[in-house]
Amino acid sequence: MTRSAADVTRGRPVAVRCRSVTKTYGSGQSAVRALRGIDIDVHTGELLMLVGPSGCGKTTLISVIAGVLDRDGGECTVLGEDFNKMRSDAKTAFRGRNVGFVFQAFNLIPTLTIAENVSVPLLINGHKRNAAVEQAKSMLSQVGLGTRVNDYPNRLSGGQQQRVAIARALVHKPKLLVCDEPTSALDHVTGQKVMELLRDVASSNDLSLVVVTHDQRIFEFADRIAEMDDGHIEQISGGLGHKVAEHPSESALT
């Protein structure tokens, strides 16, 4: 059974709200306008995919949403907070508590075991070391790697490493998960499994997911797909091809 975008977003609170968000790299004639007025909302429990050609601004938008890059203009609130109005340390602490990251290149620290890698967000949030590692092991069991907790990342396959990265992104129970090309380094079957995992986690934890991808094979997992081009959102479709709106306005988004 498929769900429409309206089904997913109806009645659910907005986790991320972006209005007229702009971002320009450089200045003068060499300036690159990466975002040219983005309007988009991400709802609790929703899996939103950002798609589009390279250089269209997907990664810039996900960076702004995740609070690792400051926007130049417009408004953007995440869980009701505006990153641009927060001090650096407060922003960092907010990210640590509320945002999970899954990266294209996994970014697992190669000199830590996978349990230690997964425990890092808990340590950042002040958990005791032993408790953090135990919780990390439990999380790894949930992603099917309970027997590999003492292995180093380089001993795992790409799919396994991405599962570790997902475990790391979820272990501290964030409210927003941002994923950058989570399946691009994986084969089709593994990519499907990773997306199933993300989909299940999102729906069961009321987690908002924003996934940047080029991989059309995983579009089926999206609740909504935002197509970007040249710093704009061209259209937002419902998952599985259900179109929600073209040139979305604020009313259409909410």
Partner 1 sequence: MYATALKMLFRDKSKYFGIVMGVMLASMVITQQGSIFVGIMSRTTATITDMGWPDIWVMDPKVAFIDDTKPLQTTALSRVRGVEGVNFAAPLYKGQLRARLDNGEFQNCIVIGLDDATLTGGPPEMLRGDLSDLRQADAVIVDYVGATTRLARANPLPNGKPIPLAVGDTMELNDKRGVVVGISKNTRTFQSQPIVYTTYSRAIQFAPKERKQLSFILVKTTPGMPIAEVCKRISETTGLAAYTSREFTWKTIMYFIRNTGIPINFGVAVGLGLLIGTIITGFMFYSFTVDNLRYFGTLKAMGTRDGTLLRMILLQALVVGVIGFGLGIGAASWFGTSMRGTPLAFVMTWQLLFVAGSAVVIICMLSAMLSMRRVMTLEPAIVFKG
Q: Which residues contact 173 (CB under 8 A, 6 or more apart)?
A: 205
> Does 112 contact partner 1 by CB under 8 A?
yes
> Does 84 contact partner 1 by CB under 8 A?
no
Q: Taking contact as CB under 8 A, which single stretch among the options 111-119, 138-146, 195-203, 232-240 is the one that binds partner 1?
A: 111-119
> Does 86 contact partner 1 by CB under 8 A?
no
> Does 96 contact partner 1 by CB under 8 A?
yes
How many chain residues are in contact with partner 1, going by CB under 8 A? 32
Q: Which is nearer to partner 1, 95 or 199 (CB)?
A: 95
From 19, 37, 69, 240, residue interacting with partner 1 (rule: CB under 8 A): 69
> Does residue 139 contact residue 79 with C-beta atoms inside 8 Å?
no
Q: Taking contact as CB under 8 A, which single stretch among the options 8-16, 78-86, 91-99, 231-239 is the one that binds partner 1?
A: 91-99
> Does 6 contact partner 1 by CB under 8 A?
no
Strand order in 176-180's β-sheet? 99-102, 176-180, 208-212, 47-51, 224-229, 232-238, 243-246
Q: Which is nearer to partner 1, 14 or 123 (CB)?
A: 123
Q: What is the spatial distance between Cα 41 and Cα 75, in angstroms, rounded to a whole number?
A: 11
Print the binding letters for residues 115-154 with partner 1: x by CB under 8 A, - otherwise. Answer: -x---xx-xxx---x-------------------------
> Does 111 contact partner 1 by CB under 8 A?
yes
> Does residue 217 contact residue 188 with C-beta atoms inside 8 Å?
yes
Q: What is the spatial distance between Cα 185 and Cα 216, in angstroms, rounded to a whole number?
A: 14
Q: Which is nearer to partner 1, 214 or 217 (CB)?
A: 214
Ordered alpha helix ranges (H), the chain: 5-9, 58-66, 88-98, 114-124, 129-142, 158-170, 188-205, 250-253
> Does 109 contact partner 1 by CB under 8 A?
yes
SS3 at position 223: coil
- Contacting partner 1 within 164-193 (CB under 8 A): 180-181
Shortest Å distance, C-beta 3 to partner 1: 28
Query: What are the structure tokens assigned to 137, written together?
Result: 């092991």
Could you identify the residue written with the tokens 């306008």?
33
From 17, 43, 95, 224, residue interacting with partner 1 (rule: CB under 8 A): 95
Q: What is the DSSP string of 185-207?
A: TS-HHHHHHHHHHHHHHHHHHT-
Q: Give the residues lining the site for partner 1 (CB under 8 A).
A: 59, 62-63, 66, 68-69, 88-89, 92-97, 99, 101, 103-105, 107, 109, 111-112, 116, 120-121, 123-125, 129, 180-181
